[in-house]
Amino acid sequence: MSESSWRRRMREARAQDPEATARLLDELGTEDRDAAEIDADHRMSRLEAMREYQPGATLQEELRLRLSGPEAERGALRFQWGNALLDPVERAVSKAAGTPVELEVTGLSRGSTVVHARPVVSVVPDPEVLGGPVATAADKGVRTFARLLTALEEENDVREWAQLFDSVDALSKALDRLQLSLGLTWYAADGGVGQADLTQRGVQYAKRLQATRDDDQEFTISGHITELRSSGVVKVKSGLPQNAAAYDVRVEPEQLYRMRLVLGDNVHFRVRFRRKLDAVGRTRVSEYHFLDMAAEELTLDAANDPPPA
Residue 164 falls within a domain, yes or no? Answer: yes
Q: Is residue 227 part of a domain?
A: yes
Other C-beta atoms within 10 Å of 133: how many? 21
Q: Is residue 161 part of a domain?
A: yes
Burial of 105 (0-12, 13-18, 19+ CB in 10 A): middle
Angle 20-28/5-16 helices, nearest 10 degrees? 100
Residue 214, pLDDT score: 86
**Residues 160 and 93 grouped into a single domain:** yes
Percent composition of the chain: helix, strand, coil (DSSP 3-state, to 5): 40, 30, 35
Instruction: Answer yes or no: do 204 and 217 share one domain.
Output: no
Please give the single-letter amino acid code of residue 175: L
Query: For the chain, what is the domain count?
Result: 2
52 lies in the same domain as 138? yes
Q: Along the chain (309 residues), what's the average pLDDT of each consecutive run of 10 residues?
A: 51 64 57 61 68 74 92 84 92 94 92 91 56 74 96 94 90 94 92 91 93 88 92 91 90 90 92 89 88 69 52
The type of residue at 191 is G
Query: What is the CATH number for 259?
Result: 2.40.50.140
- Looking at the fold, whether 77 and 45 belong to one and the same domain comes out as yes
Relative to beta strand 246-250, strand 283-293 is parallel
**Which DSSP letter does residue 83 get?**
I
Q: Do 106 and 180 share a domain, yes or no?
A: yes
Adjacent-strand bridge partners of 197: 183
What is the total residue count of the chain? 309
Domain that holds residue 103: 36-208
Tell which of 142, 176, 208 closes a domain.
208
